[in-house]
Structure 1
Amino acid sequence: MTDVPVGARVLRGRGWAARLIASRKFQKWAAGFLPTRGIVRREGEALFDLLSGFCQSQILMALVQFDIPQMLLARPRMVDELAQLCDVPPARMVILMRAAEALALVKQKRGGRFVLARRGAALVGVPGLADMIKHHDILYRDLADSVAFFRGETKTELADFWPYVFGGEMDADVAKTYSDLMARSQELVAEDTLRALDFSKATTLLDVGGGSGAFLEKVGRAYPKLDLMLFDLPKVAPSAAPRFAAAGMMARAQIAEGSFVHDPIPTGADAISLVRVLYDHSDTMVAALLAKCHAALADDGLLYISEPMSGGDAPERAGDVYFALYTLAMQTGKARSIAEISALCTDAGFEVIATPKPLRSFVTRCLLARKLNVNKH
């Protein structure tokens, strides 16, 4: 035993523990032994949650598709009324509502009327969440054959749904779908980004891939003296003008059209933001984009990055389960850790100066970097 390296002994020990836990005889004993009974129950419940996860997501999808949360927000309703409004057989609506209650989305009051539970009310209140849930029907189809998906054999629909990632022309209807979905889901991202990062040292902020200007509008309201610039595809960028006009920001806002895949980044800003942009693209494309941002900024210019990220050495559910699979289905990008993004920024000539702890990692995580002053370094 002394000739076996310590690391190998640890791995052998871990393998032994796994084999013991996998033993049906051990499981049966542990389920009846008082000190381990709770662990067995919790692990069993966790495994069953994984097993039933698809059913849970379909319950959520059905509720949103039928618009039941909005119906219950208006007033409590009986099952028969919901069945009639949704054109669902009453017996099946009972099953749907009982499942929704089990998931803590609704509650049944005395007399049989259903109301929204706290979680269901939050579902209604989160901007863009219902739209994103409806959009998931594409992802579900892409994941239908999980073995083929992970082998890379699936021709995914998501790859066609987001054609902008290739930097090419976009149909006007596709561009509107993209812009609307991004704008509605941008509010929470903007809120958490503004809580995490300070924009007070910038005088002009250029939002690259800024869509219809939802993020810039939020930053502009928080920093009234900040000048705003937006850069996005020709079919997308003009949609920001009505938003800026309605917010009274046209006097301090500029809109530039182009593709950061093919065109240089506009100059004139002392800060650039990349909000939910990097994870859409490959490492090669991200490196090229960061190099363009570096070229567009003067020395000491600031780079703000905000997007969902992988947990890195400590994988976590939002980044390493949901966003990792979503970007894999897009076939162009990936969820990166804060360390990976920091390394890409450093390679591009930036100094990372802040990586604040995320408030809600399932919404976004942020990084602030500064272009190194070549005269000082």
Structure 2
Amino acid sequence: MFDLVAGFCHSQILQALVEFDIPQMLLRNEMTTDALATEAEVPLDRMHVLLSAAVALGLLKRRKSGLYALTIRGAALAGVPGLSGMISHHDVLYLDLADPVAFFRGEVETELAEFWPYVFGASGATDPKVASTYSQLMADSQVLVAEDTLATVSLNGVRHIMDVGGGSGAFLAAVGQAYPNLHMTLFDLPAVAPGAQARFADLGLSERVMIAPGSFRDDPLPQGADLISLVRVLYDHSDETVSALLRSVYEALPVGGSLLVSEPMTGGDQPQRAGDAYYALYCMAMRTGKARSADQIAALLRQAGFTDIQTPKSRRPFVTSLVTGVKQS
């Protein structure tokens, strides 16, 4: 019970470690309290408290020599793509949750939606600097999602994949490297297209990828793909927007074409920590979407006309879960 009460402090400890760059410093060399305090410009007594707290959480370990080192869990803060970025931006979420009573009553004008302006359509993401911020964060964390998605489903037999809402192309970059003969299309807002172009050029994928700028809220989807992927897209939007998007996907696919949905999901009738105690609140703070269970997403797919709906089990549901469907006629 005490661990639950202390949860907020745990989050702040994580954020402090990341902001002070302590995981990166310890990844290079084990260090003393004095050295870390000097590098981070933190008073020595306060750094001691922070480091002791990190040891208690299993993120750091203290040698008999007095040197601090990363544990395996702590090393993830430095080595897992996108993790530090996600932790750093959570100060916005913490502000939105500062008054939990008002938050759950729907009385808080949350700030998180301002961090993710694309959820409001093309008109919400016109500032290149803002687009760059959220695109980089999405791209970094998308590496793990792409790994788990491609480890769960096979794209053998697919000729052409279109990733809708694909941001700066992190998912398609992973697909392109894993499937060298696959044609690809990226469909997303014009503001994020430059980042995608640069990524594909760096990887030598430019000739295999067509970038189609547009907003699925406002524009029809391009035709030609026999697989359309929605990676971390649905949970950003309301049921009404999702239903309209799924109908557009259905119309854009040929008979026999498939849809792949990959995103964090709730546990439905069996709530689980990542989906129900984190993503559900995060989406609520964004004001436009909601975290859904695999069964809820499957029901939305059926309403759009999809059949042969499958929910393959991913290796790390806290990273992503999957739902697939087929257009039969």
Q: TM-score range by the shorter chain?
A: over 0.9
Q: Does 1:135 align with 2:112?
A: no
What's the counterpart of residue 260 of structure 2?
304
What's the counterpart of residue 62 of structure 1?
16
Provide the rounded CA distance (Å) in 1 between the counterparts of 2:243 and 2:83: 31
- CA displacement, residues 215-238 of structure 1 (integer Å, 9 cap, x when unaligned): 001011111110010000011123
Provide the rounded CA distance (Å) in 1 between the counterparts of 2:90 and 2:313: 28
8 A Cα contact 1:346 1:352, kept in partner: no
The amino acid across from 2:29 in the alignment is R
The amino acid across from 2:89 in the alignment is H
8 A Cα contact 1:210 1:237, kept in partner: no
Matches within 5 A, 1:1-377: 47-169=1-123, 170=125, 171-373=127-329
Where 1:254 maps in the other structure, the secondary structure is strand
- CA displacement, residues 332-357 of structure 1 (integer Å, 9 cap, x when unaligned): 00010000000000110111442111
The amino acid across from 1:148 in the alignment is A
8 A Cα contact 2:166 2:231, kept in partner: yes
Provide the rounded CA distance (Å) in 2 between the counterparts of 1:210 and 1:352: 25
Q: TM-score, normalised by structure 1?
A: 0.86
The amino acid across from 2:238 in the alignment is S
The amino acid across from 1:112 in the alignment is G
- Taking structure 1 as reference, are residues 331 and 71 closer, same or farther at Cα in structure 2, changes over 3 Å only? same
Q: TM-score, normalised by structure 2?
A: 0.98
8 A Cα contact 2:18 2:77, kept in partner: no
Could you tell me the percent identity over the aligned residues? Answer: 59
Gaps of 5+ in 1: 1-46
Shift of 1:262: 0.6
Moved over 6 A (4+): none
8 A Cα contact 1:202 1:302, kept in partner: no
- CA displacement, residues 173-209 of structure 1 (integer Å, 9 cap, x when unaligned): 1111111110010100000000111111210000000
8 A Cα contact 1:234 1:257, kept in partner: yes
8 A Cα contact 2:298 2:309, kept in partner: no
- CA displacement, residues 74-114 of structure 1 (integer Å, 9 cap, x when unaligned): 11111011111111111111111010000111111012110
Where 1:347 maps in the other structure, the secondary structure is helix
Bigger radius of gyration: 1
- CA displacement, residues 4-59 of structure 1 (integer Å, 9 cap, x when unaligned): xxxxxxxxxxxxxxxxxxxxxxxxxxxxxxxxxxxxxxxxxxx1110000111111
Shift of 1:168: 3.0
Return 119-128 or 60-69, whichever deviates more.
Answer: 119-128
Where 1:309 maps in the other structure, the secondary structure is coil
